Amino acid sequence: MYVVHHQTAGSFLARAQSVLEQHEAANNLMIGIAVRLHESPDRIKTPPYLATVEDGDRLLAAALMTPPHRLILHAESDDPEPLRLLAHALVTDGWHVPGVLGSKVTSRAFAEIWSTVTGQPYRAGMNERVCELRRVIPPDPPISGALRVATEDDLPLISEWVWSLIQDAGLEGTVDGAREIAELRIADRDLFIWDDGGPVSTVTKTRHSTHGFVVSLVYTPPAHRNRGYASAAVAALSQQLLDAGWEFCSLFTDLANPTSNSIYQRIGYRPVADFDEYIFG
Domain residue spans of the chain: 2-128, 135-246
Is the per-residue pLDDT at 189 higher than 90?
yes
pLDDT at 49: 98
Q: Does domain 2-128 have CATH number 2.30.30?
A: no
Mean pLDDT for the chain overall? 95
Going by pLDDT thresholds of 50, 70 and 90, the confidence category of residue 262 is confident
Q: What is the pLDDT at residue 253?
A: 92
pLDDT for 256 equals 87
Tens of pLDDT, residue by residue over 125-184, are: 999 999 999 999 999 899 999 999 999 999 999 999 999 998 887 777 889 899 999 999
Q: Tell me: pLDDT of 42 over 90.
A: no
How confident is the model over 98-139, as pLDDT tens digits?
Answer: 999 999 999 999 999 999 999 999 999 999 999 999 999 999
**Domain 2-128 identical in fold to domain 135-246:** yes
Mean pLDDT (whole number) for 46-68: 96
* pLDDT score of 45: 84
Q: What's the whole-number mean pLDDT along residues 24-51?
A: 94
Residue 29 has pLDDT above 80, yes or no: yes
> In this predicted structure, what is the pLDDT of residue 202?
96
Residue 51: the pLDDT is 98
Q: Tell me, what's the pLDDT at 25?
A: 97
**In the predicted structure, residue 53 carries a pLDDT above the cut 80:** yes
Q: pLDDT tens across 215-242, in order? A: 999 999 999 999 999 999 999 999 999 9
The CA-to-CA distance between both ends of the chain, in Å, stands at 29
pLDDT, position 263:
87
pLDDT at residue 152, rounded to an integer:
95
Percentage of residues in the chain having pLDDT higher than 90? 89
Overall fold of domain 135-246: Aminopeptidase (3.40.630)
pLDDT of residue 43: 83
